[in-house]
């Protein structure tokens, strides 16, 4: 079974790489999704410390790693104006500089979903060593109540969150409170999810939670999406594609999932904005997997 799964993953990635040659990725900001580093779960989203270290070294050497704040400010400024919402702020904090014109100069953002303890123990020291900024989207109920994530994912403590924030390389955004899907919650419940998560982060970190990521990259219902836009400067989904400098909706940011099976070759291709076909296949499968899920 494991061999069959491995073969299927390699086949899908090979086809996705071929798709990039037919339709090369456009210039734009690439946002990478990570989940766990050195957690020992054996899952596709739990990278070894050595693999993550190699990837962060590549990013640092490329000179392309940038913060989510700066990337959102850049995209908002290029898309016909600053993003409204999040308490009336006109743009994300931080200065943003545009790309130098070469596709190899496109900014790359590192993000994490959920908030497992290995991010403090393993990932943050690596980020510090290479000077790569990152944003962690916290599912705050897990942190606040010590609720484990799937595959024995021990959640961060608030003390660990504060220690990560003190490094200056890690910032925090919201991933809802209970990691609930916002396409199947009534607006009042969704607003509570968003407000509780945002408030807990800001109270415990002492900094604004400007950014949001949809759990499982499932977009909100039309009734709920405006609630996200009102509270946050950006919101992230999936997509395995760059966010173009003109016309990107910063409340529907595309992100690219990094997996164990990517190795160096497919990681670099993803960091360069490729492998869109892989995400298209995954989204099709996830529509079936998450049909009856709530979180």
Examine residue 93 and state whether it is found in any structural domain, yes or no.
yes
Examine residue 60 and state whether it is found in any structural domain, yes or no.
yes
Examine residue 75 and state whether it is found in any structural domain, yes or no.
yes
Domain with residue 93: its CATH number is 3.20.20.370
Examine residue 77 and state whether it is found in any structural domain, yes or no.
yes
pLDDT, residue 82, reads 43
User: Can you state the angle between helices 276-289 and 2-22, rounded to 10 degrees?
Assistant: 130
Examine residue 49 and state whether it is found in any structural domain, yes or no.
yes
Question: Do the beta carbons of residue 252 and residue 219 sit within 8 Å?
Answer: yes
- HSE-CB of 229 using CA atoms within 13 angstroms: 15
* Average pLDDT of the chain, as a whole number: 88
What lies within 8 Å, CB to CB, of 23 at 6+ separation is 276
When pLDDT is averaged across residues 135-145 and rounded to a whole number, the result is 98
| Band (100; pLDDT cuts 50, 70, 90) | very low
Please give the tally of structural domains in the chain.
Answer: 1
Examine residue 295 and state whether it is found in any structural domain, yes or no.
no
Examine residue 212 and state whether it is found in any structural domain, yes or no.
yes
pLDDT, residue 136, reads 98
pLDDT digits (tens, 9 = 90+) for 248-267: 999 999 999 999 999 999 99
When pLDDT is averaged across residues 184-200 and rounded to a whole number, the result is 98
3-state secondary structure at position 30: strand
194: left (phi over 0), alpha (psi -120 to 50) or beta: alpha
Q: Point out the least confidently predicted range of 7-11, 27-31, 258-262.
A: 7-11
| Band (166; pLDDT cuts 50, 70, 90) | very high
Q: Helix H segments across 167-256? A: 187-205, 225-231
pLDDT, residue 92, reads 33
Q: Point out the least confidently predicted range of 194-203, 243-252, 285-294.
A: 285-294
pLDDT, residue 49, reads 98
When pLDDT is averaged across residues 162-168 and rounded to a whole number, the result is 98
What is the model's pTM?
A: 0.87
When pLDDT is averaged across residues 270-277 and rounded to a whole number, the result is 88
pLDDT, residue 78, reads 81
pLDDT, residue 290, reads 56
Is the pLDDT score of 93 beyond 70? Answer: no
Q: Quote the domain boundaries for residue 198.
A: 2-289
Examine residue 294 and state whether it is found in any structural domain, yes or no.
no
Question: Do the beta carbons of residue 270 and residue 16 sit within 8 Å?
Answer: no
pLDDT, residue 288, reads 53
| Band (277; pLDDT cuts 50, 70, 90) | confident
pLDDT, residue 22, reads 76
How far is it, in rounded angstroms, from Cα 272 to Cα 9? 20
Q: Point out the least confidently predicted range of 3-17, 60-74, 113-127, 265-279.
A: 3-17
Dig out the tokens for 127 from the structure.
């980020």
């Amino acid at each position: 079974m494991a061999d069959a799964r491995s073969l299927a993953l390699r086949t899908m990635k090979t086809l996705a790489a071929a798709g990039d040659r037919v339709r090369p990725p456009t210039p734009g900001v690439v946002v990478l999704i990570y989940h766990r580093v050195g957690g020992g779960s054996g899952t596709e989203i739990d990278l070894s410390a050595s693999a993550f270290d190699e990837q962060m070294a590549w990013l640092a050497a490329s000179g392309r790693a940038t913060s989510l704040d700066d990337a959102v400010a850049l995209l908002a400024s290029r898309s016909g104006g600053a993003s409204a919402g999040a308490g009336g702020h006109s743009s994300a904090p931080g200065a943003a500089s545009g790309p130098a014109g070469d596709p190899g100069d496109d900014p790359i953002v590192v993000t994490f979903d959920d908030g497992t303890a290995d991010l403090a123990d393993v990932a943050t020291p690596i980020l510090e060593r290479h000077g790569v900024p990152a944003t962690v989207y916290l599912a705050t109920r897990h942190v606040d109540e010590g609720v484990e994530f799937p595959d024995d994912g021990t959640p961060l403590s608030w003390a660990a969150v504060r220690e990560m924030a003190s490094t200056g390389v890690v910032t925090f955004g919201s991933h809802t409170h209970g990691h609930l899907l916002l396409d199947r919650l009534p607006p009042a419940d969704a607003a509570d999810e968003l407000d509780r998560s945002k408030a807990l982060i800001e109270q415990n970190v002492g900094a604004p939670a400007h950014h949001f990521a949809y759990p499982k990259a499932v977009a909100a219902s039309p009734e709920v999406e405006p609630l996200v836009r009102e509270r946050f400067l950006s919101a992230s989904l999936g997509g395995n594609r760059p966010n173009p400098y003109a016309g990107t909706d910063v409340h529907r940011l595309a992100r690219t999932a990094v997996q164990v099976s990517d190795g160096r070759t497919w990681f670099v291709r993803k960091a360069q904005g490729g492998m869109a076909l892989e995400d298209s296949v995954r989204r099709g499968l996830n529509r079936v997997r998450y049909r009856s899920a709530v979180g």
